């Protein structure tokens, strides 16, 4: 028998990077919020500089719901399934994946909000890739700027502004859209290697700058600055210098007395009142018991795959095809960031990148978005070039031999001994678009630990993304060779399997027939159901998604507080 609980104002499903942010404006507005979180609290004592545990064994195994529901993947509807990942890198914990992410905290650039209209204006309508379902966002960067600003200050971001109210500062990203003020903290320190790469970029006539990070470069909000020893890619920070929502916005929301965090609560569906089609409760499992949590408003913040799966699993008389899916748009316009087509370089000298962290790097945006003329090119969009300081023993020894040594035995060992600190891999994030035949649905046979179908991804990179990938590899090769590299190696495009940058599925837009969410992040079909996370984003830009998803989450939460009666009471 399910246990009926007392009604609350708002339930947030998932207290990760975005749910953990949305809780703060809601709680400050005096709403009673229950955060249902599948994971547990983790503390600095849980974090160890252990590459095997963090990067290969999917720590913390005890709490990893994500591993029991890894989406299946096939490149298209008639292709065989790809091998299933052994672990999924997303985290189940209070703070979600912001506990162990790299913490790069980028804003999108102005073009990313207007890909269709700006491409058409500059190059003609024929340049939108065939089959793409991309739309302009329902608003531009200027609408999101105040929310980026709030999140940067409440979470705590270090960085160097490049455009304050139109005043360009060459120390920062000269291509960024106008921002109201500086970052709350200066950027993280550079290293000898990132300085070398920055100097080289300037020689090439490019504009290098230190990237923004949700990591303290100095004391902030009573937590210390970063110590630069690394091992926090897929690991938490044991001195709390990394600003996960578990140490920033969630504790601030709890201080108001309005946020109640329920851990190890796995939400299985969202129920509606069949009479009016409004959401009225959330069903979750905790400690083997089933609970019904009634609420006036439900916000889904369980990451793209789970947001979509939750809707498709929540069938009712009012929504027989899944909640908010009468229009058949749930799962559509899905894409994952093209971060394949990597570029690896070998140098003839040590780089000393055995300390530091992936958010401590140097970026070049000259080839991002539409920052360069595409007239003579056969693709749209671009990539952010990013090199950083981070080296761990197993990863270092897994290096390529660049065709210069055997791949086993004593010849291999002596090559690795000499070169483990002489290679570097650039992280290249590229514009990725939605296409009509890339989508998410429920897998017909594979189930999770509770016996519910997992999400199925049907998606692959298209021509535009592949051509762009090759172009960005060329630019990165030029950068590395000019910096003294003696060899470079190009990685393959790969395919669109489960990703840590997964977008769409509940896309936001004014048109009801092509979008699940309206411009405020609430369902077009169910007025008291909202969506938080990159599942509402219709374009990726060339930068990591989290800060944008967090700014959108704050905006949706604020919209709710300002329109409470209309949304909660109908
Ligand atoms: C190793 C790594 C490095 C990354 N680096 C960066 C970076 O540098 N910059 C960047 O912008 N992004 C980065 N990302 C991506 C970033 O982590 C995500 O964009 C971000 O965490 C997404 O926020 P979210 O709140 O939607 O999901 P999450 O942060 O994963 O939070 C979702 C929460 O929902 C909970 N949940 C899920 N299902 C249920 C359920 N059924 N019931 C109850 N709770 C549930 C989960 O336990 C989790 O706490 C990285 C990701 C990884 C894995
Ligand atoms: S390098 Fe910085 S963010 Fe990473 S664990 Fe150390 S102090 Fe924390």
pLDDT in tens, 153-198: 999 999 999 999 999 999 999 999 999 999 999 999 999 999 999 9
For residue 232, which ligand has an atom nearest its CA? 2
215 lines ligand 2 (CB under 6 A): yes
| pLDDT at residue 87 in the model | 85
27-36 in b/e form (b: 16+ CB < 10 A) is bbbebbbbbb
| pLDDT at residue 313 in the model | 98
Residues having CB within 6 Å of any atom of ligand 1:
13-19, 36-39, 89-93, 96-98, 101-104, 233-234, 265-267, 301-303, 306, 359, 500-501, 533, 544-546, 549
Beta-carbon contacts of 45 under 8 Å, excluding residues fewer than 6 positions away, are: 238
27 close to 256: Cβ distance less than 8 angstroms: yes
> DSSP class of residue 399?
-
pLDDT in tens, 221-244: 999 999 998 888 889 999 999 999
Question: What distance in angstroms lies between residue 88's CA and the mean position of ligand 2's atoms?
Answer: 22
| pLDDT at residue 61 in the model | 63
Rounded Cα distance between 15 and 91, Å, is 11
pLDDT in tens, 27-49: 999 999 999 999 999 988 888 88
Report the mean per-residue pLDDT for the chain. 96
Q: 3-class DSSP state for residue 262?
A: strand
| pLDDT at residue 71 in the model | 96
Question: What distance in angstroms lies between residue 14's CA and the mean position of ligand 1's atoms?
Answer: 9
Question: What distance in angstroms lies between residue 472's CA and the mean position of ligand 2's atoms?
Answer: 30
Atom of ligand 1 nearest to the CA of 106: 11
Q: Which of 55, 215, 355 to mutate to test the pocket of ligand 2 (most atoms within 8 A of CB)?
A: 215
Q: Percent of the chain at pLDDT above 70?
A: 99
CB atoms within 10 A of CB 167: 9
Q: Is the pLDDT at 62 greater than 60, yes or no?
A: no
Q: Is the pLDDT at 59 greater than 80, yes or no?
A: no
Q: Is the pLDDT at 1 greater than 90, yes or no?
A: no
For residue 54, which ligand has an atom nearest its CA? 1
5 lines ligand 2 (CB under 6 A): no
Q: Is the pLDDT at 254 greater than 70, yes or no?
A: yes
pLDDT in tens, 441-466: 999 999 999 999 999 999 999 999 99
Work out the widest C-alpha separation in the chain, in whole angstroms. 73
Beta-carbon contacts of 569 under 8 Å, excluding residues fewer than 6 positions away, are: 296
Range 338-367 average pLDDT? 95
Question: What distance in angstroms lies between residue 93's CA and the mean position of ligand 2's atoms?
Answer: 19
How distant is the alpha carbon of residue 519 from its chain centre?
20
Atom of ligand 1 nearest to the CA of 284: 42
pLDDT top residue among 209 and 235: 209
CA nearest to 212, candidates 179, 186, 242: 186
CB atoms within 10 A of CB 218: 13
> pTM of the full predicted structure?
0.98
| 81-85, 150-154, 526-530: segment of lowest average pLDDT | 81-85
| pLDDT at residue 570 in the model | 79
For residue 97, which ligand has an atom nearest its CA? 1
pLDDT top residue among 184 and 569: 184
What would you report as the CA-atom Rg of the chain, rounded to the nearest whole angstrom?
23
**In this structure, what token pair is assigned to residue 510?**
């004014």
Atom of ligand 2 nearest to the CA of 227: 7
| pLDDT at residue 63 in the model | 58
Question: What distance in angstroms lies between residue 94's CA and the mean position of ligand 1's atoms?
Answer: 10
Question: What distance in angstroms lies between residue 456's CA and the mean position of ligand 1's atoms?
Answer: 18
Range 300-317 average pLDDT? 98
| pLDDT at residue 55 in the model | 86
| 245-259, 384-398, 501-515: segment of lowest average pLDDT | 384-398
């Amino acid at each position: 028998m399910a246990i009926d609980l007392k009604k609350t104002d708002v339930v947030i499903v998932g207290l990760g990077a975005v749910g953990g942010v949305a809780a703060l404006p809601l709680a400050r507005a005096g709403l009673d919020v229950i955060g249902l979180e599948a994971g547990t609290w983790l503390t600095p004592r849980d974090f160890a500089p252990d590459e095997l545990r963090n990067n290969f064994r999917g720590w913390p195994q005890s709490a990893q719901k994500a591993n029991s529901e890894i989406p299946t993947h096939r490149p298209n509807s008639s292709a065989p399934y790809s091998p299933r990942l052994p672990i999924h890198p997303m985290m189940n914990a209070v703070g979600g994946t912001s506990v162990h992410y790299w913490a790069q905290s980028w804003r999108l650039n102005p073009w990313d909000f207007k890909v269709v209209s700006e491409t058409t204006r500059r190059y003609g309508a024929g340049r939108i890739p065939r089959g793409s379902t991309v739309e302009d966002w329902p608003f531009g960067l200027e609408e999101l700027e105040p929310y980026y600003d709030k999140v940067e200050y409440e979470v705590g971001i270090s960085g160097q502004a490049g455009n304050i109210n139109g005043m360009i500062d060459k120390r920062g990203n000269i291509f960024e859209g106008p921002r109201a003020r500086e970052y709350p903290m200066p950027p993280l320190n550079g290293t000898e290697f990132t300085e070398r790469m920055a100097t080289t970029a300037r020689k090439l006539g490019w504009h290098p700058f230190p990237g923004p990070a949700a990591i303290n470069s100095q004391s902030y909000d009573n937590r210390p600055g970063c110590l630069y020893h690394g091992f926090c890619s897929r690991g938490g920070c044991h001195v709390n210098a990394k600003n996960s929502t578990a140490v920033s916005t969630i504790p601030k929301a709890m201080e108001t007395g309005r946020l109640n965090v329920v851990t190890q609560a796995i939400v299985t569906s969202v129920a509606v009142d069949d009479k009016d089609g409004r959401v009225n409760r959330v069903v979750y499992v905790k400690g083997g018991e089933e609970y019904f949590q009634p609420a006036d408003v439900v916000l889904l913040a369980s990451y793209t795959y789970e947001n979509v799966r939750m809707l498709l699993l929540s069938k009712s008389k009012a929504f027989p095809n899944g909640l908010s899916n009468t229009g058949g748009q749930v799962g559509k316009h899905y894409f994952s960031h093209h971060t394949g087509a990597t570029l690896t370089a070998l140098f003839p000298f040590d780089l000393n990148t055995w300390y530091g962290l992936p958010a401590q790097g140097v970026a070049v945006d000259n080839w991002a978005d539409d920052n360069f003329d595409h007239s003579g090119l056969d693709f749209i969009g671009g990539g952010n070039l990013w090199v950083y300081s981070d080296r761990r023993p197993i990863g270092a020894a897994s290096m390529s031999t660049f065709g210069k040594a055997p791949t086993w035995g004593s010849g291999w060992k002596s090559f690795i001994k000499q070169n483990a600190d002489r290679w570097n891999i650039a992280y290249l994030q590229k514009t990725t678009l939605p296409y009509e035949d890339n989508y998410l649905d429920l897998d017909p046979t594979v189930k999770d630990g509770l016996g519910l179908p997992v999400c199925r991804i049907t998606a692959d990179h298209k021509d535009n993304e592949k051509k762009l990938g090759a172009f960005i590899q060329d630019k990165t090769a030029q950068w590395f060779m000019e910096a003294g590299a003696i060899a470079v190696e190009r990685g393959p495009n790969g395919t669109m399997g489960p990703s840590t940058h997964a977008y769409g599925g509940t896309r936001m837009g004014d048109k009801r027939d092509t979008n699940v969410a309206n411009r405020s992040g609430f369902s077009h079909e169910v007025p008291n159901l909202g969506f938080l996370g990159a599942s509402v984003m219709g374009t990726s830009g060339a930068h990591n998604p989290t800060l944008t998803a967090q700014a959108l989450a704050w905006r949706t939460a604020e919209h709710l507080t300002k329109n409470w009666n209309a949304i909660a009471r109908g």
